[in-house]
Amino acid sequence: MNTLMNRLVNRLVTTTVTAVKTAWWWLRQVLGDAAYENYLRSAARRAARGSTSCAHARLLTREEFYLDALRRRYSAISRCC
């Protein structure tokens, strides 16, 4: 009986940890906090594919990426009126 209880507790803990990690990942994606990590991952995928379109482009630092995102967001009019 004790072994069964241990397995149930272990499964509950594992499921809870997985749910919390998934929720944290989702929240970071929705709020834009993971944008820089997504940018780096995308650049790594392009480099692995051997994409020549951005072969010589250097990666932005976290600060440069943030400033570029602000510039792109606020440089154009994005309202209807």
In a domain, 29, yes or no: yes
Domain residue limits at 53: 2-74
In a domain, 24, yes or no: yes
In a domain, 80, yes or no: no
In a domain, 69, yes or no: yes
Amino acid found at 27: L
How large is the average pLDDT for residues 16-32? 97
In a domain, 16, yes or no: yes
In a domain, 50, yes or no: yes
pLDDT of residue 71 exceeding 70: yes
Burial class (CB in 10 A: 0-12, 13-18, 19+), 43: middle
How many domains is the chain partitioned into structurally? 1
pLDDT of residue 52 exceeding 80: no
In whole angstroms, how large is the CA radius of gyration of the chain?
A: 21
In a domain, 49, yes or no: yes
- The pLDDT score that the predictor gives to residue 29 is 97
